[in-house]
Homo-oligomer: A and B are copies of this chain.
Amino acid sequence: MSEYRGYTGASLTFLKESKVKIGDSVKITEDLTYTGIIMPRYENTDDNHIAIKLKSGYNIGIEIKKIKKIELISSEKIEKKSTSEVKSDSTLPKILLLSTGGTIASKIDYRTGAVTPALSAEDLSAAVPELAEIANIDASVLFSEYSENLEPEHWKKIAEKLDSYAKSDYKGIVVAHGTDTMQYSAAFLSFALAGYPVPIVLVGSQRSSDRPSSDAALNLISAVRFVVESNTQGVFVVMHHNESDDLAVAHLGTRVRKNHTSKRSAFQTIGNDPAFLIFDKKIEQNLKTDFFKQREYNPKLNFDKHVALVKYHPGYNPKIIDFLIKSGYKAIIFEGTGLGHVGKTMYEYVKKANENGLFMGMTSQCIDGRVGMNVYESGRDLLELGIIPLSDMIPETALVKAMWALGNSTNAEEMKNLMIQNIASEFSD
């Protein structure tokens, strides 16, 4: 790590002139006095601030113009830690740990206090020594991104990488992933890799491993145990079940949603219990359902981003629909109100979208429950205008599925058939 990583212009000059660098403990006096460690900065930031990690663990930005005094308290030499050696036991099953980034793949450097997003998968498995007793872990870094920055192009890269191991002797694959958009990636992999011969688990953490309440270790151990012990197939998300440290669960990749911004139990299966309970001593299948409706492995790795997710609300401007049509969108997933409605003000443009050949699917912003477009006249009107009800598919999954279905079909009929077919439990029984 560079001594001034991320600092440019005025802030870089300031640090150099003050003879302090990243990792140094400093005392800064402006209107208030702060003691903390100078942190690296990341792209897209200005050069007017320096970042300090306080003892509380919080990072703050301080405007350099306001700094009256900066004093060096202690300075640490920055060196690359050598990769830990991982034990290998040939009697254990072999799994792959693929890292894509996120909090779980972040290393806290205890000297600098910085969260480094580029923790290698080797480091990850070395950081949790229990893993070596469960499986022989091959580790690989695909990329290192916080998941809010992932795009469908990243989904495809992950899918291609996993596809390349479809005939390997891995008992399962664990994908370390940021939690922000984990459910979107899980949905894509569920469709793209339907019928994959071994279980694929996405795992993340809500709190980085330097916090006493971190969920990283339990989640990772549970994910590895799940792919080794569950004897299942399909794409799952493994995370904490509750705020205690004794139970992790596996959610179906198409039915999971991040329902809390910060809790360790943020991830929930919508409309049902989680698919598997991962206890300390055993793994219990909780849902009596075949996860992958499609049994044969027949990867379909493409996507087409021309899909909009339209959350309807009072005052929604129907001209946005017109803009989508004119911008070449090919599908719209509505998050309608209640049983799957949009207001009458939308009808004209819904009709136009239909005439222009856009696929339109209806989900509900209620998130839980099924759309039911035959109950009220307004639902029936929308059916007549060409909107396809998507039962209890959750809106985000429907969005991802539409991108996937568009990318892997050659005409509207084929795309629609993919949308209404139950491929990976995106529709509950």
When each residue 368-387 of chain A gets 1 if its CB lies under 8 Å from chain B and 0 otherwise, what string results?
11111010111011001000
Find out whether the CB atom of B45 lies under 8 angstroms from the CB atom of A377.
Answer: yes
B343 pairs with A261, CB closer than 8 A? no
Q: What sequence of 0s and 1s flags, for each residue 143-187 of chain A, a beta carbon within 8 Å of any chain B beta carbon?
A: 000111111101100000000000000000000000111001100
Q: Is B263 touching A338 in the complex (CB atoms < 8 A)?
A: no
CB distance from A187 to the nearest CB of B (A): 10
Q: Which of B150, B313, B343 contacts A396 (CB 8 A)?
A: B313
CA distance A42 to B344 in the complex (A): 12
Contacting B at CB under 8 A, from A238-292, are 258-263, 266
**Complex interface: chain B residues within 8 A of A259 (CB):** 366-368
Q: Which A residues from 87 to 116 make CB contacts under 8 A with B?
A: 115
With contacts A44-B347, A320-B323, A338-B179 taken as known, whether A368 is within 8 angstroms of B260 at the C-beta atoms is: yes
Interface residue A309 (Cβ < 8 Å from any Cβ of B):
yes
Q: Which residues of B contact A343 (CB under 8 A)?
A: 148-151
Taken together as a complex, chains A and B put the C-alpha atoms of A184 and B337 apart, in Å, by 11
8 Å CB contact of A261 from B258, B263, B366: B366
CA distance A366 to B263 in the complex (A): 11
Q: Which of B152, B307, B342, B369 contacts A260 (CB 8 A)?
A: B369
On A, residues with C-beta under 8 Å from B are 41-46, 58-61, 115, 146-152, 154-155, 179-181, 184-185, 258-263, 266, 303, 305, 307-309, 311-315, 317, 319-320, 323, 327, 335-345, 347, 364-372, 374, 376-378, 380-381, 384, 396, 399, 403
25 contacts between A and B (CB under 8 A): A42-B381, A46-B384, A59-B374, A59-B380, A146-B376, A146-B378, A148-B336, A148-B337, A148-B338, A148-B341, A180-B338, A185-B314, A258-B338, A260-B368, A261-B340, A261-B368, A261-B370, A261-B371, A262-B339, A263-B368, A266-B366, A313-B396, A313-B399, A317-B327, A320-B320
| 6 closest A-B pairs by CB | A261-B369, A148-B341, A180-B337, A180-B338, A260-B369, A42-B377
